[in-house]
Every structure is written in C-alpha cells, then in structure tokens.
Amino acid sequence: MRINKYLAEAGIASRREADRLVEAGKVTINGRRPGPGDQVEEGDEVKVNGTVVRPVARKTVIAFHKPVGVITTTDAASPDNIMEALMNARTRPPKARLIPVGRLDVSSSGLILFTDDTALADRLMRPDSGTEKEYDVIVDKELTQEFLAHMAKGVRLENMPAPQRIVMTRPAKVKEVGATRFLIIITEGKNRQIRRMCEALGYDVRKLRRTRVGGVELGDLPEGEWRPLTKEELASLA
C-alpha cells in the first residue's frame, strides 16, 4: 500500500496532505524517511512525528436521500435535523459515528453522503477538491439559451456570506431537459449556490434535487432511506 493511502486510511490526513507530511520529513517507515511513492508492507512500522500509526478498521460511507424539509445539521436539539431523519429510515444505519458530507439546504432534496472518515469528508468538502455534484433543477419560467449560457459560463453572486461578499461561480456543465427543467454539474458548493445563480439571472427555483456526488448516484433510492456504497463507488471517492 502506498504511504499516502496508508496514512489516509489511518485517519491521519488526506492523501494530498499525507504527501506533504512525507515531503516534510515527518514520516518514517521502519526508521527511514520514505519518498512520496514508497510502499508500506505488512509488518512495517510507520511513524508520524515519532508516533506509531496504524490503519483503522474499514471506514463507513453511505448514501442518503434527504427529503425536503430536513435540515443538514448534526445538532440533535434542532427540529427536523438530518441525523434524526437518518435514524428514522426503515433500516437502521450502521453503528458508526457518521457525519454528513457537505450540506443541502432545507428546501432541497437528494443525495448526501454520510461517513465516519473525517479525512474523506474534509477532502470532499474542500473548495479545491474538484468533486462533481449534479443537480436536477426546475425553475418558475421557460429557459432561454442566454440563461443556460450564463449558468455554464459562471454567475456573479452578490451579498454572499462573509468573508467574500461578491463571488464569481466556476464554469459548470448545463443541459436543458425540459421547458423549465435543466441539469447542472458544479465543482463547488457555495451557500445556496444554484438558487442564488438562478435568482441573479431572474429565475426562481421551484424544485432542486441533487442526483450525484462524484461517482455516487442517487438512482432510485427512496426519500428518507439510505444504502451502502458499492466497491466501485468507494473507489471513485478514493
């Protein structure tokens, strides 16, 4: 196993961050400093800053279909919180300390991942991760080619939460699928981003559903239910 994957599975850091630890000379394998591509064999002793680290048991990652009205918060005192929604699924979720990866606003539905792998969660939520997120959107009036082109090119958003009050969204992939319906793929996740993009161009979102995160698709998973990820889906997030 490559040293960066070993450290990621030990929960020390993401693979990219693990490479930085190796390059900084903070990692040893059997007392020697490895290179970024070095392998860890069974029985090897790996240390980070002089402390032995070992891979933990396989991490848990599941897909959940968040219904409209559910708030993406882990605060158990908050009404309609997503942890309560997950526990109310027909099948009890795995016994792990799961956290939601990212957010979906209360008026939106769709795919949200849960995991006990904090390094994976942090990596997927980083602004520079480049993780694709796909949404199915219905707006209040007929689409125009000008609107679709603006959504694809990037939209100037004002009155955003601090620290950046004005931002320009990254280019996106947009596909018209109906008179008032389109699909959009973005690689960022600013607060209420798609709703704000539409509003900036004179449209109101009537329905918004996230259908994909990276290589994980919502598919026909019913609202309020969860499923484990396949091996292929897990590999796509690695």
Note the Cα 178 to chain centre separation in Å: 27
Q: Would you call 237 helix, strand, or coil by DSSP?
A: helix
Residues 6+ apart with CB under 8 A from 158: 165, 166, 200
CA–CA gap between residue 7 and residue 46 (Å, rounded)? 9
How does DSSP assign 72-99, residue by residue? Answer: ----TTSTTBHHHHHHTSSSPPPSS--E
Catalytic annotation, pick one of 38, 44, 105, 122: 105
Taking phi over 0 as left and psi of -120 to 50 as alpha, with beta for the rest, 115 belongs to beta
Question: Which of 237, 37, 236 has the alpha carbon at shortest distance from 120?
Answer: 237
Q: Would you call 174 helix, strand, or coil by DSSP?
A: strand
Q: Does the active-site annotation cover 140?
A: no
Q: Would you call 169 helix, strand, or coil by DSSP?
A: coil
- Catalytic (active-site) positions: 105
